[in-house]
Amino acid sequence: MQLLKNKVVFLTGGTEGIGYECAQAYHKAGAKVSIITHKAQSLHQCRMQFFNDDIHYILADVSVSADVQRAINETISRFGKIDIIHNNAGVSSPSKTVCDTTEEEWDKVFNVNVKGIYHTTKFGIEALKASKGNILNSSSLVGNIGQELHAAYTATKGAVNALTKSMALDYAEHGIRVNAVAPAGVWTPMLRRWSNQQPNAAHIKNYLDEIHPLGYCPEGDVVADACLFLASDQARFITGCILPVSGGAELGYRKYMGQPLQKVDDQKVKL
């Protein structure tokens, strides 16, 4: 069954990791997908692997108002409408405390992770009113539980959670649902690069497996499946939900007992 047959998805951050898995899941479910990224090389590589008439790529930065307005207009011009806006684009660096984070770094994280949602909603809301569509935000488990050395990132994900609920109330009268997914650890290219550069990669894999009570750190497809459900009519009476896709990582107390973790490329484990 194609859950998104004849739907149009506006997906930010859709060329890598969880976003790429979502793009594939949405397309397989029958949707036309407009994929937005600010990374030219990533866009090119993704287009070489995943391209047909129902996929449209746009180079744009979600933190820039004019870029998002252009991307929304281009999507409507190409596909005629927008049914779903999935705000997946996000950055996690720097790996720092509040006091060690510069003002420029703080603003960058908020401008992408939170203001990006402001931009897509501001310029896409009329299209969603017309289609009675829905909005899906990519949050994180750390928006609820916190994480050391990621003050700015966790702050943005807490903001995303609160914003999701407020938007759900604001737009319910238009038949627009607003939800979010909150993963814990997920194997993405970035996480694999980080883990391979640790002193003992085997310990890192065990650590990432063990923080999830279900026993393993998943691939991005498990998040994509949850996103597909929330974006589809099967979730037609769900709004304001922050759905954990965490394997139970928020349950109980777990602490890494192996060798100390290292920062690599200004990144730590991103949950």
pTM, rounded to two decimals = 0.91
CA nearest neighbour of 181 among 56, 8, 6, 19: 19
Number of domains in the chain: 1
200 within domain boundaries: no
Identity of the residue numbered 155: A
Beta bridge pairs of residue 12: 36
Q: Which residues contact 46 (CB under 8 A, 6 or more apart)?
A: 14, 15, 16, 20, 35, 37, 57
If one compares 186 and 33, the residue with the highest pLDDT of the two is 33
Q: Within a domain: residue 19?
A: yes
Q: Does 267 score more than 70 pLDDT?
A: no
pLDDT, tens digit, 9 for 90 and up, residues 220-266: 999 999 999 999 999 999 999 999 999 999 987 666 544 444 554 44
pLDDT at 147: 87
Residue 1 has pLDDT above 90, yes or no: no
pLDDT at 268: 43
Q: pLDDT of 86-110, one tens digit each?
A: 999 999 888 899 999 999 999 999 9
Question: For residue 58, is it within any domain?
Answer: yes
Give residue 50's domain range. 8-183+218-245
Domain assignment of residue 209, yes or no: no
- The answer to whether residue 224 is domain-embedded is yes
Does residue 269 lie within any of the structural domains?
no
CA distances (Å), origin 48, targets 56, 57, 204: 12, 11, 32
pLDDT for position 264 = 44
User: What is d(CA 128, CA 62) in angstroms, rounded to the nearest whole number?
Assistant: 18
| Continuous H helices in 29-114 | 40-49, 65-79, 103-113
Q: Residue 34 sits in a domain of what CATH number?
A: 3.40.50.720
Tokens of 117: 């949602």
